[in-house]
């Protein structure tokens, strides 16, 4: 049975990523429940519990960070979704990705720009279905 | 003679980094004026000229990004200064560095935490001299 | 309307990448015109305008650099094309990728070798169609 | 004709990766025989010939290293296979990947966890066919 | 007051790094207690509590991983100490660093080799003082 | 006793780096002779023995690659020396470092620019002593 910490952290994770949170963690849980447990509890139970920084900033910063990291496109898509869910506009997200060119050059930023576009398209296509 | 674009960009750079902007660029200019030129004009003339994102966010995002990058400590110190100058508190800066553990692990985040501390100490020591 | 700088930079970009230049930039422009603008003007208008280094070297160096970077395979393919277009032979390109093993180990170099092969195959298949 | 060093190194490589060794090297050889030659002879003839470390550790360490590297998923799959072939259990492999979160954060570790799962699934599906 | 989890995790951390654990965490605690807290509790309370992998392997794998990461030399020194404390010999440590050349090339491995030597020298100098 | 391959490779290494080659390898040999052996024989005996690419290009490409890698400044200094020794001018070297901004952003390129300057200064100071 899930601990209280896990349940609360999972709720916090859902406020960032919506349904994507559950799908993401389920896929990890199927491989290794211990990885899933820390993936929920550590960021969302230990790191994000302080009010020092608002959630919008908390989700825009990983978009910047994963842009620079270059290889983390599946995770970047989740954070782009997270940025949209916590109050960033599409315009702000692609502006921050563009700004990152100064930190990481064009290759990493370009890969991220296309990944962000995929998220935007997917949302639009889901919305137009409803 | 410096172009109008360069002069304006340099002014923008100073609003981020204060006097550190001139020292930083002078050291680069002594090696290669062409590098200094693009270092001033590209980020501060081309990338930062849009109002889509406010300056506080513009400077907190590089702090997050360079934390993850791991090796860019001299540049990180300039951006920590930039974050302070554009409205972030010390508490916000170290909170974002701490949050980045989830993106990049402890080694990169720890190096950055110590670099941020050096900036804070240096400011304090300068202030107490006055 | 495109500025003179943009038009000239785009012409320079085409001498490197051929038609791939237009396709690459169009895809970016559809997401964020500001990103496309700096992607054309900064490297090809600001960085590549000096004759200090010839174009062959200018395109072989990014092949080496992106090999080491490891994650930038879509951009690497464009630069492999650029290296071919500016006078490098296939033999020189895969020799430089092989040399990079000393700088970055086998994983990054292997990924790049396969990416280069895809570019060579694509060119051959295009040529044999004509 | 293959040198004695190449033949012996290839045998060593097969004790790590099984048939995957031949497929991996053949694909590289088709592009550049010189790359294939050093890929066989350098790690398996020069680096792995000392008994200081046992083969199980020799294959678990690259799993840890490529997890942190983040972008080397095709190579990681070969090393996961190598870890299984040299005496590591699936449980040990995913535990080490999970431990690496502390070194590299969640994005890199998550990508690797899914890559390991693909190797496990592929082995299971091959076994159930027989 | 420190929680039970913190106290137990700190004890576990000491079995890896000896007195270096307390110095390391104290320096971080002076900057941000929240960072120190997760640095103790997450790896040593959450990640390392399972017996799937023995402590010797748990400490040799980060040596491999941080070798590849390239920039994390201060943390690498702590892990080299940790590897010695959990049963690895100097010979095993430098052999693993040498093996990593295949994963990351010479630059990252060379930096780490010198960092390991500094740890060995420091231990020897401390021992010869006693 | 050194093998014929080692002796020849060491001679090749000296044509790149001059006396710095011997100092570099001696420092490594004092820690682990096996590392020194492969550091000499693998790049300079196995990788650099083909005439496909000239030595000037062979040394300018690592300068580009290590610029992007960001953390490899001690090795970068040796390659800057190597580039000078194999026919590149200071102007070409800093132009290539500047071009790399497009691949890796300002932080990595700036660190490298300063490292190159240190090499130039050191050479000048040695020359003015004679």
Query: Considering only alpha carbons, which residue of chain B is nearest residue E42?
Result: B106
Q: Which two tokens stand for residue F79?
A: 């390659």
Is D32 within 8 Å of chain C by CB? yes
Residue D110 pLDDT exceeds 80: yes
Facing residue for E107 by CB, picked from F35, F38, F66 = F66
Confidence of residue F68 (pLDDT cuts 50, 70, 90): very high
Cβ atoms of B104 and B70 closer than 8 Å: yes
Query: Which residues of chain F have a CB within 8 Å of the CB of C74?
Result: none
Q: What is the mean pLDDT of residues F65-85?
A: 97
Q: Which two tokens stand for residue F23?
A: 């100092």
Q: Subunits touching B (CB < 8 Å, at least 3 pairs)?
A: A, C, D, E, F
Cβ atoms of A17 and A81 closer than 8 Å: yes
* Chain-chain contact of B31 with F94 (C-beta, under 8 angstroms): yes
Confidence of residue D17 (pLDDT cuts 50, 70, 90): very high
Q: Which residues contact D128 (CB under 8 A, 6 or more apart)?
A: none
Share of chain A above pLDDT 90, in %: 92
Residue F3, phi then psi, degrees to nearest 5: -70, 165
Q: Subunits touching C (CB < 8 Å, at least 3 pairs)?
A: A, B, D, E, F
The string of pLDDT tens digits covering residues E51-102 is 899 999 999 999 999 999 999 999 999 999 999 999 999 999 999 999 999 9
Which site among D97, D100, D104, D108 would you substitute to test the B interface, given the most B Cβ atoms closer than 10 Å to its Cβ? D104
Q: What is the mean pLDDT of residues F26-47?
A: 97
Confidence of residue D2 (pLDDT cuts 50, 70, 90): confident
**Beta-carbon-side half-sphere exposure of residue D88 (alpha carbons within 13 Å):** 33
ipTM: 0.95
Closest CA–CA distance from residue E83 to any residue of chain B (Å): 16
Confidence of residue F1 (pLDDT cuts 50, 70, 90): low
- State the count of interchain CB pairs (< 8 A) between E and F: 51
Cβ atoms of C55 and C16 closer than 8 Å: yes
- State the count of interchain CB pairs (< 8 A) between B and E: 51
Straight-line distance from the first to the last Cα atom of chain C, in angstroms, rounded to the nearest whole number = 35
Straight-line distance from the first to the last Cα atom of chain F, in angstroms, rounded to the nearest whole number = 35
Q: What is the pLDDT of residue F119?
A: 97
Query: Which residues of chain E have a CB within 8 Å of the CB of D91?
Result: 52
Query: Which residues of chain C have a CB within 8 Å of the CB of F103?
Result: 62, 65-66, 69, 72
Q: What does the DSSP 8-state code read for residue F85? A: H
Q: Which two tokens stand for residue D29?
A: 């050889």
User: Rounded mean pLDDT of chain F?
Assistant: 95
The string of pLDDT tens digits covering residues C55-85 is 999 999 999 999 999 999 999 999 999 999 9
* Chain-chain contact of D111 with A71 (C-beta, under 8 angstroms): yes
* Chain-chain contact of B98 with E35 (C-beta, under 8 angstroms): yes
* Chain-chain contact of B99 with A42 (C-beta, under 8 angstroms): no
- Tell me how far apart the alpha carbons of residues B63 and B58 are, in angstroms, rounded to a whole number: 9
Where do the domains of chain E lie, and which CATH numbers do they carry? Answer: 1-49 (no CATH), 53-130 (1.20.1290.10)
* Chain-chain contact of F28 with E111 (C-beta, under 8 angstroms): no
- Tell me how far apart the alpha carbons of residues C113 and A126 are, in angstroms, rounded to a whole number: 38
Q: What is the pLDDT of residue C14?
A: 97
* Chain-chain contact of F65 with C60 (C-beta, under 8 angstroms): no
The string of pLDDT tens digits covering residues B62-109 is 999 999 999 999 999 999 999 999 999 999 999 999 999 999 999 999
The string of pLDDT tens digits covering residues A51-98 is 899 999 999 999 999 999 999 999 999 999 999 999 999 999 999 999
- Tell me how far apart the alpha carbons of residues D64 and D85 are, in angstroms, rounded to a whole number: 16
Q: What is the mean pLDDT of residues F85-96?
A: 98
Burial class (CB in 10 A: 0-12, 13-18, 19+), C104: buried
* Chain-chain contact of A70 with C71 (C-beta, under 8 angstroms): yes
Confidence of residue C128 (pLDDT cuts 50, 70, 90): confident
* Chain-chain contact of B114 with E27 (C-beta, under 8 angstroms): yes
Confidence of residue B127 (pLDDT cuts 50, 70, 90): confident
Query: Considering only alpha carbons, which residue of chain A is nearest residue B42?
Result: A102
Share of chain E above pLDDT 90, in %: 91
The string of pLDDT tens digits covering residues D36-56 is 999 999 999 999 988 899 999
Is D50 within 8 Å of chain E by CB? yes
- Using CA atoms in the order A119, D69, A48, E77, what is the torsion angle rounded to 10 degrees? -170
Confidence of residue B2 (pLDDT cuts 50, 70, 90): confident
Q: What is the 3-state secondary structure (H, E, C) of D71-123?
A: CCHHHHHHHHHHHHHCCCCHHHHHHHHHHCHHHHHHHHHHHHHHHHHHHHHHH
Query: Which residues of chain E have a CB within 8 Å of the CB of A46?
Result: 38, 41-42
The string of pLDDT tens digits covering residues C21-45 is 999 999 999 999 999 999 999 999 9
Q: Which two tokens stand for residue F72?
A: 């490899």
Residue B125 pLDDT exceeds 80: yes
* Chain-chain contact of E103 with C107 (C-beta, under 8 angstroms): yes
Q: Subunits touching A (CB < 8 Å, at least 3 pairs)?
A: B, C, D, E, F
Q: Helix, strand, or coil here: E91?
A: helix
Which site among A39, A44, A68, A76 would you substitute to test the D interface, given the most D Cβ atoms closer than 10 Å to its Cβ? A39
- State the count of interchain CB pairs (< 8 A) between A and B: 90
Buried residues in C61-76 as b, exposed as e (16+ CB within 10 A): bbbbbbbbbbbbbebb
Query: Which residues of chain B have a CB within 8 Å of the CB of F110?
Result: 28, 35, 39, 74-75
Q: What is the pLDDT of residue D106?
A: 98
Q: Which two tokens stand for residue C115?
A: 């990416």
Helices B55-69, A90-99: crossing angle, 10 deg rounding:
50
- Tell me how far apart the alpha carbons of residues D49 and F94 are, in angstroms, rounded to a whole number: 41
Residue A1 pLDDT exceeds 80: no
User: Rounded mean pLDDT of chain D?
Assistant: 96
The string of pLDDT tens digits covering residues B34-66 is 999 999 999 999 999 888 999 999 999 999 999
Tell me the CA distances in angstroms from C116 to A29, C122, D32, one per residue in order.
37, 10, 11
Facing residue for A98 by CB, picked from C27, C34, C75 = C34
DSSP H helices, D18-54, are: 19-31, 33-41
Q: What is the mean pLDDT of residues D102-106?
A: 98
The residue with tokens 């699934």 is D121
Is E102 within 8 Å of chain B by CB? no
Residue B128 pLDDT exceeds 90: no
Helices C90-99, C55-69: crossing angle, 10 deg rounding:
40
- Tell me how far apart the alpha carbons of residues F101 and B39 are, in angstroms, rounded to a whole number: 9
Cβ atoms of C9 and F69 closer than 8 Å: no
């Amino acid at each position: 049975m899930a601990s209280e910490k896990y349940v609360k952290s999972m709720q916090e994770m859902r406020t960032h990523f919506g349904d994507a949170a559950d799908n993401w963690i389920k896929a990890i849980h199927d491989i290794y429940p211990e990885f899933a447990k820390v993936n929920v509890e550590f960021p969302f139970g230990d790191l994000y519990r302080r009010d020092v920084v608002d959630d919008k900033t908390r989700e825009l910063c990983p978009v910047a960070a994963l842009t620079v990291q270059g290889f983390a496109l599946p995770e970047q898509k989740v954070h782009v979704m997270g940025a949209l869910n916590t109050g960033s506009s599409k315009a702000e997200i692609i502006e921050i990705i563009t700004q990152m060119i100064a930190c990481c050059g064009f290759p990493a930023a370009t890969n991220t720009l296309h990944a962000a576009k995929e998220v935007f398209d997917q949302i639009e296509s889901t919305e137009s279905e409803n």
